[in-house]
Structure 1
Amino acid sequence: MLILLPPSEGKATSGDGPRLDVDSLTLPGLTPARERVVEALTEVCSGPEDTAREILGLSVSQTDAIKRNLDLTVAPTLRAADLYTGVLYDRLGLPDLLAERGEAARERILVFSGLWGVVGPDDHLPPYRLSMGVRLPSLGGLGAYWRKALTGPLNELVGDRLVVDCRSSSYVAAYRPAGEVAERSVAVRVLREKEVDGELRRSVVSHMAKATRGDIARVLVREGVEARTPKELVAALRDLGHTVELQETGGPGKARTMDVVVRD
């Protein structure tokens, strides 16, 4: 099983680890693609501050992120497990999972990144700010850039494993499973169910979805779930007390959607 996660907009701002070694990151074959993004980001952040903020989608209060982007090669690093913060990662508890489940967490979790493409929990990274939705002048949209670089290496990494996709929409653009990989892929959607005028109604949620996806990823790793098909995944999560429903496939070569239902 491979669990795909988005990063978080919120990140730790300092580390105490060694300087960045790009070749040590997960999927080292991506090093040239990563170095091109670092170069393009440095070019933006070295220019006028107002322009850099506009391109990166930063507010005036986030100007410090520009300096951090300029220090990528010299700043102390920290593990990806400690770098990413926010609702999903609070619920996931990745540092605890690494301590408790070690190799299972390392092998099962992959975090997408606008700067690095994908990283593993143990990868040492400097603090940075670059969303997948950004268009860097010399590279264009990062979603399309990374999709070209990632598709082959990720399909090879997935192999015959089940893919549990907990990413947000902008990060889905960087890798879209196709063919046999798609048929072993499940996109996690979160629905809120509540009673309105005596009837149960469901709606798609956003903020709560991050917490719920963190919960799902955590339980899959912590409990050592070994599902190899979407149906086995649903059965395992139901056994663990979650209300989940598998939607019908759209046809051959299409990913499935698994609804996780949370109730008020």
Structure 2
Amino acid sequence: MLVLLPPSETKRDGGDEGSSLDLAALSFPQLTAARKPVLSAVKSLSRNLSEASAALGLSAAQRFEIDRNRAISKSPTMPVMDRFTGVLYDGLAATELEDAPREWLANHVVVHSALFGLLRAGDRIPAYRLSHDSRLAGLPLKRHWSSSIAAALEAHDGLILDLRSESYASLGPAPVRENSVYLRVVTEGPDGTKRALNHFNKKGKGEFVRALALSGLFHEDVPSLLSWADTRGIRLAAGAPGELELTV
């Protein structure tokens, strides 16, 4: 079972003293060759403050992100599940979990990074800034990542639960098959009408993945996942073809 999450633009500072980025230690080694030119382009871009600010869409107050990118190969690392912050990752609250649910996250959660491609939750990375819509000279991210990420996901023959935003899903589509589904978070009005959530869908996703981690269960298919959700009072149901709806 793979649970795919989007990254967050906000990240926690710091990391383990003496650690630094080791590309060879990251999961999905088939993506190593694709990671190198993106990493090189980010470091090159960070040499020019004005160009980097424009390419990364940064305000003057966010220029510390460029310093992060300059030091990306030397700065300390921490697990992916702890590095990202923001609404989704606050809902997940991985730093508050005990060893067993953190191990579940490390085994089953994959975060889709614009810089590194697919990362398991236990992979160790530095703080950085690069988004799906960042502009790298001569290296369009969608064209660069799409086929290699799609191939890596296709190679997984178990259940894939895609919680990525549509913008990240476009950087590497999940396979179209029975045990690969996209999760939409919706709310239900007094009249029973359902509508998609924007900001608050992130919190729902984070809390849902936290519940999965705390359960410690492995789901081989969608019926198993739906049955588990029903026993926990989680409103998860089939939606449009190839999709599940989580009502919060």
Is the TM-score greater than 0.5? yes
Alignment match, 2:196: 204
Matched, 1:42 2:51: no
Q: Which residue of 2 aligns with 1:135?
A: 135
Asked if 2 retains the 8 angstrom alpha-carbon contact of 1:190 and 1:260, the reply is yes
Q: Within 5 Å, give how 1:113-262 maps onto structure 2.
A: 113-140=113-140, 142-156=141-155, 158-159=156-157, 161-179=158-176, 182-195=177-190, 199-249=191-241, 256-262=242-248
**1:56-96: per-residue Cα shift (whole Å, max 9, x none)?**
11111100101110111111112212211111111112234
Number of residue pairs aligned between Structure 1 and Structure 2: 247
1:163 Cα deviation from its structure 2 partner: 0.7
What are the superposed Cα offsets for residues 23-69 of structure 1, whole Å, 9 maximum, x if unpaired? 1011123222111001111221112x222111111111100101110
SS at the partner of 2:233?
coil
SS of 2:76 mapped into structure 1: coil
AA aligned opposite 2:204? T
Secondary structure in 2 matching 1:129 = coil
Q: Deviations over 1:109-153 (max 9, x none)?
A: 10110110011122111110001222311211x133111222222
1:204 partner letter: A
Contact 2:4 2:110 in 1 (8 A): yes
Whether the 8 Å CA contact 1:25–1:123 is kept in 2: the answer is yes
Contact 1:247 1:259 in 2 (8 A): yes
Ranges in structure 1 where 5+ consecutive residues have no aligned partner? 250-255
Contact between 1:98 and 1:106, CA under 8 Å: does it hold in 2?
A: no
d(CA) in 1 for partners of 2:12 and 2:132? 18
Letter in 2 for 1:202: K
Q: What code does the residue aligned with 1:93 have? A: A
Does the CA-based 8 Å contact 2:105-2:122 persist in structure 1?
Answer: no
Output the amino acid matched with 1:91.
Answer: G
Residue segments in structure 2 that go unaligned for 5+ positions in a row: none
CA distance in 2, matches of 1:229, 1:248: 17
Secondary structure of the residue aligned to 1:42 is helix
Measure, in 1, the Cα distance between the counterparts of 2:107 and 2:215: 14
Corresponding residue number in structure 2 for 1:75: 75
TM-score, normalised via structure 2 length: 0.93
How far did residue 237 of structure 1 move?
A: 0.8
Please say if 1:100 is aligned against 2:95: no
Give the CA deviation at 1:216.
1.3
Deviation at 1:200, TM superposition (A): 3.3
- Contact 2:100–2:216 (8 Å) recurs in 1: no
Q: CA RMSD in A?
A: 1.7
Equivalent in the alignment of 1:252 = none
For residue 70 of structure 1, what is the amino acid of its counterpart?
Answer: R
